């Protein structure tokens, strides 16, 4: 297999890496995924997808309708710093605000979709070299039995997780926040049923979070704020786990039959850039934070959906100058925000009694915001507004377009249905539609143009929607042609390159 070539090598076969691969393959890009594990991990990991990641996935045809279509409002009960009462609301017509799914199930679904789209998935291979040479990148790995393997690609995406090697091999610099707490997790069986009730429990010594799992066991997570663990890399024994749980709750808790046990901490890290040459980072390879609020998987999913269409256009020669660099400018600030507010939540969780007034204040804020307010928008990712291209941009540019119901060509449809093909979407309303359509004709190969009846919730003559659901331009914010040039350059002009796969124009 040595010397095999492809357009993009994705290192990491978790949900983020596989989602990037799916997005690239849907646009006709050749992709090879390299994963060290032989199969999808059965160990419990992330289980939560928040509103913005669910909305974005559904717009790209993922989740298979499992997320549903909600009536809007506050349909996502959640927590903030262990305090209940955070209501996450979504606009009318959007999927559920909080979608629960096991990471293993999501990973298997994405791998099946990737393989069906022509992605080559190579498991059981550990990458040990990434070297950029001219306009190619060499990726070397060790396979079963110590066999050396090498591939060449135009681009490499490192989606190999918090302990992945791509970041270090390529020399990405990061800002790190050292661990200050010790935490443990595991699935066990309590010898005295009901000894710990389900929920979040704060004591003077820390936290124990209890969740019932299938088969009569419980999933326990502990938080000890006395300091970072001195044995971070060592296996966790059942006896140590039992002693920790018992110490935090202040009484003996007998347990047995562990299915898995692990340690973690609040160590956080954010890459100072997401791109070095022809290598890009996504997901936990780019950002790590304390796992409070279930935001890690969602943040990685949004990385993948932002990167996928930009890298696909770049590979096909249909990207505007600098388009790929906007991935870093748009997604790294979002990750920094997650790092910051998860650290803030941890500060509220510390069992210092001097923090009680602050916790009480946040409790009042949660109770006084029936539709979630600022905290819910932040946790769910719905407060993300992308930077505008220029000072004359429309106020709508950079916002996420809600799932507005539309009537197009006499048929009822909506934004979700129109974006499912993976192309950028130009919605035309009103009398000047013909002029905008003429401006866009040169980019027919990468753009879907839809004439629709005007809607009160969208008082613009024309709106350009990016493949990831964000507004890229709206009438009143400069000319349409310069915006299309910025996104698609000359590469999308009719006759220059083949049209991208996806929905017909």
Q: What's the CATH code of the domain at 442?
A: 3.40.30.120
My answer on whether 473 and 410 are in the same domain is yes
My answer on whether 6 and 107 are in the same domain is yes
Q: How many domains in the chain?
A: 4
pLDDT, position 29: 98
Percentage, residues of the chain above pLDDT 90: 77
My answer on whether 186 and 236 are in the same domain is yes
My answer on whether 156 and 279 are in the same domain is yes
My answer on whether 34 and 52 are in the same domain is no
My answer on whether 116 and 40 are in the same domain is yes
The mean-pLDDT minimum among 12-16, 22-26, 76-80, 210-214 falls in 76-80
My answer on whether 162 and 129 are in the same domain is yes
pLDDT, position 331: 98
My answer on whether 41 and 52 are in the same domain is no
pLDDT, position 231: 86
* Closest by CA position to 330, among listed 386, 373, 291: 386
Any domain includes 495? no
pLDDT, position 372: 63
My answer on whether 361 and 325 are in the same domain is no
Torsional sign, CA 122, 127, 132, 138: negative
My answer on whether 111 and 91 are in the same domain is no
Q: What is the mean pLDDT of residues 358-386?
A: 87
Q: For residues 136 and 134, what is the distance between their CA atoms, to the nearest angstrom?
A: 6
Q: What is the pLDDT of residues 25-80, one digit of tens each?
A: 999 999 999 999 998 776 767 789 999 999 999 999 999 777 765 545 455 678 89
Q: What is the pLDDT of residues 393-449, one digit of tens each?
A: 999 999 999 999 999 988 999 999 999 989 999 999 977 777 899 999 999 989 999
**End-to-end CA, the chain:** 40
Domain that holds residue 484: 405-488
My answer on whether 236 and 143 are in the same domain is no
The per-type count for the chain, helices as H runs and strands as E runs, is 12, 26
Any domain includes 293? yes
Any domain includes 500? no
pLDDT, position 1: 43
Task: Kindly provide the b/e burial profile for residues 454-478, where b requires at least 16 CB atoms within 10 angstroms of the residue's own CB.
Answer: eeeebebbbbbbbbbbbbbbbbebb
Any domain includes 131? yes
Any domain includes 471? yes
Any domain includes 390? no
Any domain includes 398? no
My answer on whether 256 and 274 are in the same domain is no
Q: What is the mean pLDDT of residues 469-497?
A: 82
Strands 411-414 and 424-428, bridge-based pairing: unpaired
């Amino acid at each position: 297999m040595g010397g095999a070539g492809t357009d993009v090598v994705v290192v990491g076969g978790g949900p983020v890496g596989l989602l990037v691969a799916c997005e690239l393959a849907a646009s006709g890009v050749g992709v090879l995924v390299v994963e060290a594990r032989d199969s999808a991990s059965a160990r419990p990991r992330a289980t939560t997808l928040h509103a913005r990641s669910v909305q974005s996935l559904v717009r790209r045809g993922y989740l298979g309708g499992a997320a549903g279509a909600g009536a809007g409002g506050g349909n996502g009960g959640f927590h903030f710093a262990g305090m209940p009462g955070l209501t996450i609301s979504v606009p009318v017509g959007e999927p559920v605000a909080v979608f629960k799914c096991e990471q293993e199930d999501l990973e298997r679904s994405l791998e099946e979709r990737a393989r069906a789209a022509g992605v080559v998935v190579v498991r059981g291979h550990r990458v040990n070299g990434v070297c950029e040479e001219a306009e190619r990148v060499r990726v070397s790995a060790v396979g079963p039995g110590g066999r050396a393997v090498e591939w060449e690609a135009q681009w490499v995406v490192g989606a190999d997780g918090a302990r992945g090697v791509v970041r270090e091999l390529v020399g990405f610099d990061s800002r790190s926040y050292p661990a200050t707490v010790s935490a443990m997790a595991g699935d066990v069986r309590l010898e005295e049923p009901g000894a710990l009730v389900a929920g979040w429990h704060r004591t003077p010594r820390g936290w124990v979070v209890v969740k019932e799992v299938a088969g009569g066991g419980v999933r326990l997570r502990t938080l000890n704020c006395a300091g970072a663990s001195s044995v971070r890399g060592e296996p966790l024994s059942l006896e140590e786990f039992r002693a920790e749980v018992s110490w935090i709750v202040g009484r003996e808790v007998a347990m047995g039959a562990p299915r898995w046990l692990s340690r973690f901490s609040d160590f956080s890290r954010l890459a100072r850039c997401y791109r070095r040459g022809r290598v890009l980072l996504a997901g936990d390879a780019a950002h790590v934070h304390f796992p409070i609020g279930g935001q890690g998987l969602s943040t990685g999913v949004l990385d993948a959906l932002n990167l996928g269409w930009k890298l696909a256009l770049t590979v096909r020669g249909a990207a505007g100058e600098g388009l790929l660099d906007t991935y870093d400018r748009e997604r790294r600030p979002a990750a920094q925000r997650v790092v910051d507010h998860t650290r803030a939540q941890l500060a509220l969780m510390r069992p210092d009694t001097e923090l009680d007034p602050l916790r009480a204040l946040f409790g009042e804020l949660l109770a006084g915001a029936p539709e979630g307010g600022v905290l819910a928008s932040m946790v769910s990712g719905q407060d993300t507004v992308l930077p505008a291209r220029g000072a004359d941009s429309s106020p709508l540019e950079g916002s996420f377009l809600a799932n507005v119901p539309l009537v197009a060509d006499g048929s009822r449809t909506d934004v979700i249905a129109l974006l499912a093909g993976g192309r950028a979407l130009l919605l035309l309303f009103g009398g000047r539609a013909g002029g905008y359509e003429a401006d866009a004709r040169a980019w027919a190969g990468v753009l879907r143009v839809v004439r629709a009846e005007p809607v009160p919730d969208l008082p613009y003559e024309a709106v350009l929607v990016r493949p990831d659901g964000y507004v890229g331009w709206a009438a009143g914010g400069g000319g349409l042609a310069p915006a299309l040039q910025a996104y698609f350059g000359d590469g999308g002009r009719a006759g220059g390159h083949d049209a991208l796969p996806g929905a017909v124009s």
